[in-house]
Chain A
Amino acid sequence: MLAELSDHVMDIAMNSVRAGARNISIAIIAQRDKGTLSVSIGDDGIGMDEETLRKVSDPFYSTKAGKTVGLGVSLLKGAAEICEGEFQMRSVPGQGTEVEAVFPIDHPDVPPLGNVKDTFLLLCVTNPEVRFSFRFSADGKDFEMDTKQVNDILGGLSISHPEVVTFLSNYLEEHL
């Protein structure tokens, strides 16, 4: 259903936004020596109690209004497990949630990364009230960006201002 890791990242990060997170960190890190590609998303949203956490990787659990099927988390879990990778979700009510999927990098079923640049750009310019910290280290690239640094430079100007969006798009294109 979600063909690329960048889709999963967008999806899991939107859970964090829905959980009221003010800070979201996203890291996509390949470690050649360990043979792993890890994707992790952490937030400081409302979190979940143990029982909810247990139910979440069950594809029929969702707290969304009028919804019986929650898919996002179980899709990422499934993608990791199908290539004998690992999946973990930790959460503390009132503190936040962390999701991590680790893939064996050379396994043929690891989903392609897809357009990570778009995912980073779209997340930060369409959720201006959230501070994102991005880290990408794979394919010979090592990139970090914290939107706090961007917002500090911008003063009161919104990160979603058209000229800022165009700038960040070019910036990510060049560095990522």
Chain B
Amino acid sequence: MNLEELKAIREKAQKDIQLRQKEGRIKIIVGMGTSGIASGARGVLKAFVEEIAARNLVDVMVTQTGEKGLASQEPLIEVVEEGKPTVIYGNMNPEKAKRVVAEHIVSGNPVLDYVIETT
């Protein structure tokens, strides 16, 4: 494998103007402060990144923050979507992350079992 092979991906994606316009519709922010990492946030971040990539969701941005919130409920993640309340999920793990992608990100139904706050 060679990085030059990325050219083919670029050319293919550039043809898809519609997809590019949707970029960043939803943002998933994973809390990666020290205590977040210690409680497993890296596996959660990985699950989101892999799941979004596997489903080819070009309009979802997965990002991380070093800031932290309620240490007792880490790993914490935030789902930020324009025009909708921000949803904060706590005590996440990779399986829960996959469920959030399927139900909240893809189907638009927040997973109430894991929600700790909406703002």
A interface residue numbers (CB < 8 A to B): 1-2, 7, 10-11, 14-15, 17-18, 64-65, 67, 70-72, 75, 118-119, 121-122, 125-127, 149-150, 153-155, 157-158, 160-167, 169-171, 174-175
Check if A157 sits within 8 Å of B14, measured CB to CB.
Answer: yes
Check if B13 sits within 8 Å of A67, measured CB to CB.
Answer: no
Q: A126-B62, A149-B3, A154-B6 are in contact. Are A118 and B42 (CB under 8 A)?
A: yes
Tell me, yes or no, whether B7 is within 8 Å of chain A by CB. Answer: yes
Tell me, yes or no, whether B116 is within 8 Å of chain A by CB. Answer: no
Minimum C-beta distance from B66 to chain A (A): 4
Specify the main secondary structure of chain A where it touches its partner.
helix
Residue of B nearest to A129 (CB): B63
Residue of A nearest to B29 (CB): A126
Check if A18 sits within 8 Å of B67, measured CB to CB.
Answer: yes
Check if A167 sits within 8 Å of B5, measured CB to CB.
Answer: yes
Tell me, yes or no, whether B58 is within 8 Å of chain A by CB. Answer: yes
Q: A18-B67, A126-B64, A167-B6 are in contact. Are A1 and B38 (CB under 8 A)?
A: yes
Interface membership of chain B positions 9-34, coded 1 if the CB is closer than 8 angstroms to chain A and 0 otherwise:
11011100000000100000010111
- 9 closest A-B pairs by beta carbon, nearest first, are A14-B66, A165-B53, A72-B34, A18-B66, A162-B53, A71-B34, A1-B38, A153-B6, A162-B56
